[in-house]
Structure 1
Amino acid sequence: MDLILWRHAEAAEAEPGQPDMQRALTGKGQKQARRMAEWLESQLPESCKVLVSPALRTLQTVEPLGRKFKVQAEIGPGADPRELLRTANWPNAREAVLIVGHQPTLGQVAALLMTGAPAYWEIKKAAAWWFVQREPGDPESLYLKAVMGPDLIVK
């Protein structure tokens, strides 16, 4: 199974009284989202399932990808890393799964996959980490296929 973790792009700070879930992308964040969406679209299998946090900033991040997606409250801000993996049906899903979510959860998921413990690893804004596990019951078949950030994409 392929699991791609995509952190939302740069978002504006919350205005006084504004709910965190309503923070929108900045101009820089919109550019980051477009660049990463172009790269992901060139790499993702056609059958990839896309799951997105209900936060505005994640919805705006995934929009340039131009694919159907499902909003999943279970991967919103403060999500539990193990719950995120269950939501993705890791490692048993038949298709690749792209998760568009938040820190620190995505970093905790990356650490959990690579080390077995949910440590606080940082995934930069708008970056994607691509994991592959060839055999669902065999953690030895897990590898990190790619780490890509919008600043690494050459146009």
Structure 2
Amino acid sequence: MDLILWRHAEAEPAQPGLDDLERALTPKGHKQARRMGQWLDSVLPENCRILVSPATRTVQTVAGLGRKYKVHPDLAPGADASDILKAANWPASKEAVLVVGHQPTLGQAAALLMTGEDSDWEMKKGAAWWFVQREPDDPASLYLKAVMQPDLVMK
């Protein structure tokens, strides 16, 4: 199974009176989302299932990909790493899954996948981490296929 974790691009800072779910991308964030979306579209399988947090900033991020997606309420801010893996049906899914979500949850999911332990790993804004597990019942068949961030994508 392929699992791609994509952190939302740069968003407006939290403000008093503004619901966290309503925070939008900054102009820089829109640029990051377009660049990463173009790269991901060029490398993702056609049948990739795309799951997105209900937050405005994640929905705006995935728009840069230009593919159909499903908003998944269990991916909202405050979710934990196990929520991400469960939503993606890790490692049993027969198709690649792209999850667009938030820090610290995505970094925690990456750490859990790579080490089997709870840890807080940082995932940069707009970055994507691509994991592959060749055999669903063999955690030793897991590897990190790619890590990409917006400023490394060719213009």
Residues 52-91 of structure 1 aligned to structure 2 (within 5 Å)? 52-91=52-91
Q: Where does residue 13 of structure 2 map in the other structure? A: 13
State the alpha-carbon separation in 2 of the partners of residues 60 and 97 from structure 1: 18
Alignment correspondent of 2:128: 128
- SS state at 2:64 partner: helix
- Residue deviations 1:57-104 (CA, integer Å, cap 9, x gap): 000000121111010111110101112101100000000000000000
Aligned runs of 1:103-142 on 2, under 5 Å?
103-142=103-142
- Cα-to-partner distance string for 1:11-70 (whole Å, 9 max, x where unaligned): 001333010100000000000000000000000000000000000000000012111101
Q: Which runs of 5+ in 2 are unaligned?
A: none
The residue type equivalent to 1:152 in the other structure is: L
User: Under a length normalisation based on structure 2, what TM-score does the superposition of the two structures give?
Assistant: 0.98
Aligned-partner Cα distance in 2 for 1:11–1:118: 26
- Give the Cα–Cα distance (whole angstroms) in 2 for the partners of residues 88 and 131 of structure 1: 12
1:24 — aligned with what?
A: 24
Partner of residue 38, structure 1: 38
> Per-residue displacement from partner, 1:93-126 (whole Å, max 9, x unpaired)?
0000000000000000000000001200000000
The residue number in structure 2 matching 1:143 is 143
Q: Which residue of structure 2 lines up, in the alignment, with residue 50 of structure 1?
A: 50
Alpha-carbon distance in structure 2 between the residues aligned to 1:104 and 1:42: 27
Give the RMSD, CA atoms, in angstroms. 0.6
User: 1:98 maps to what in 2?
Assistant: 98
Paired AA for residue 54 in structure 1:
P
Equivalent-residue separation in structure 1 for 2:30 and 2:86 (angstroms): 29
Farther-moved stretch of structure 1 (13-22 vs 87-96): 13-22
Mapped to 2, the partners of 1:78 and 1:35 lie a distance apart of 27
Number of aligned residue pairs: 155
Classify the secondary structure of the residue corresponding to 2:39.
Answer: helix
- Find runs of 4+ consecutive structure 1 residues off by over 2 angstroms: none
The SS at the match of 1:41 is helix
